[in-house]
Amino acid sequence: MISTVLFFLFAGVAISCGVSMVVHRNPLYSAVSLIGVFVALACLYVTLAAPFIAVTQILVYAGAIMVLVIFVIMLLNLDEDKPLDRLRYLYFVGGGLGVALLAQTFFIYYAVLKTPKPDFDASTTVGNTMSIGTAMYTEYLLPVEIVGVMLLMAIIGAVMLVRKSEQSRLDAVSGQNVEEK
Amino acid sequence: MEQAFKTAFPFIVYTGAILLAFQGVLMIVAYTVLAERKVLGWIQGRIGPNRVGPWGVLQPFADLLKFILKEDLAPDKSTKFIYFIAPLVALTCALLPIVVYPFGPQIRDPLGWLVPYAPVIPFAGEENLVAWIAEQARNLPLTIAQIDVGVLFVLAITSVGVYGIALAGWSSNSKYSLMGGLRSSAQMISYELAMGASILGVVLLAGTLDLNGIINAQSNSPWYMRWFIVPQFVGFIVFLIAAFAETNRVPFDLPEAETELVAGFHTEYSALKFALFFMAEYVNMFTVSVMCVVLFLGGWYIPGLDYAARGLGMEAVFGVGTIGYAVISHIGFLLKIFFFLFLYIWVRGTLPRFRFDQLMSFGWKFLLPVAIGNVIVTIVIVYFLNR
Q: How confident is the model over A159-170, as pLDDT tens digits?
A: 888 776 666 666
Interacting residues of B57 by C-beta distance below 8 A, sequence separation 6+ = B34
pLDDT given at position A151: 93
pLDDT band at A179, cuts 50/70/90?
very low
Please give the Cα distance from B320 to B235 (Å, whole number).
30
Among B121, B190, B101, smallest CA distance to B368 is for B190
Q: State how far the Cα of B128 lies from the Cα of B121, in Å rounded to an integer.
A: 10
Q: Over its length of 387 residues, how does chain B's per-residue pLDDT go in tens digits?
A: 677 777 788 888 888 889 998 999 989 988 888 888 888 888 888 888 888 878 888 888 888 888 888 888 877 776 778 888 888 988 988 888 988 888 888 888 777 777 777 666 666 555 667 777 777 777 778 888 888 888 888 888 888 888 888 888 888 877 788 888 888 888 888 888 888 889 988 888 888 888 888 888 887 655 556 788 878 888 899 999 998 888 877 788 776 766 777 777 777 787 888 888 888 889 988 999 999 999 888 888 887 777 777 777 777 777 777 788 888 888 988 999 999 999 988 888 888 888 878 888 888 888 899 999 999 998 898 888 877
- CB distance A28–B170 less than 8 Å? yes
Per-residue DSSP letter, B1: -
Query: What size, in residues, is chain A?
Result: 181
pLDDT tens for each residue of A117-167: 766 655 555 667 778 888 888 888 999 999 999 999 998 988 888 776 666
What residues of A are in contact with residue B99 (Cβ under 8 Å)? none
Of B161, B149, B33, which is closest to residue B99 (Cα–Cα)? B149
Q: A34-42 contacts: CB < 8 A, separation 24 or more? A: A34/A66, A34/A69, A35/A62, A35/A66, A35/B160, A35/B163, A38/A62, A38/A66, A39/B160, A40/A10, A40/A11, A40/A13, A40/A14, A41/A10, A41/A14
Distance CA A150, CA A143 (A): 10
Question: By the CB < 8 Å criterion, does A162 face chain B?
Answer: no
Q: Please, how many CA atoms are within 13 Å of residue B81, restricted to the half-sphere of its CB?
A: 6
Residue A22, exposed/middle/buried by CB under 10 A (0-12, 13-18, 19+)? Answer: exposed
The alpha carbon of residue B369 is apart from the nearest alpha carbon of chain A, in Å, by: 16
Q: Is this complex's ipTM strictly greater than 0.95?
A: no
CA angle (A84 as vertex; A80, A90 as ends), nearest 5: 125
Predicted local distance difference test score (pLDDT) of residue A13: 92
Determine whether the interchain pair B152/A67 forms a contact, defined as Cβ–Cβ distance below 8 Å: no
**According to the model, what pLDDT value does residue A104 have?**
93
pLDDT confidence of residue B266 = 78
Chain A residues near residue B156 by CB distance under 8 angstroms: 55-56, 58-59, 62-63
Chain B residues whose beta carbon lies within 8 Å of the beta carbon of residue A68:
189
DSSP letters for B267-282: TT--HHHHHHHHHHHH
Interval A51-55 mean pLDDT: 86
Query: What span, in angstroms and rounded, lies between the C-alpha atoms of B59 and B380?
Result: 52
Helices (H), B297-361: 305-311, 315-318, 323-350, 356-361
Q: Is B109 left (phi over 0), alpha (psi -120 to 50) or beta?
A: beta
Q: Rounded to an integer, what distance in angstroms lies between the CA atom of residue B66 and that of residue A131?
A: 52
User: What is the distance in angstroms between the CA of the first residue and the CA of the last residue of chain B?
Assistant: 58
Give the residue among B228, B223, B341, B217 at the shortest CA–CA distance from B281.
B341
Helix, strand, or coil here: B4? helix
Query: How many Cβ pairs within 8 Å bridge chains A and B?
Result: 74
Tell me the pLDDT tens digit for each residue of A61-112: 888 888 888 888 877 766 555 656 667 778 888 889 999 999 999 999 888 8
Which residues on chain A are in Cβ contact (under 8 Å) with B181? 74
Quote the DSSP letter at residue B301: P
Q: Find the mean pLDDT for residues A21-28.
A: 82
Task: Give residue A181's pLDDT.
Answer: 42
Question: What's the rounded mean pLDDT across residues A42-53?
Answer: 85
- Phi/psi of residue B299, nearest 5 degrees: 55, -130
The pLDDT score that the predictor gives to residue B239 is 92
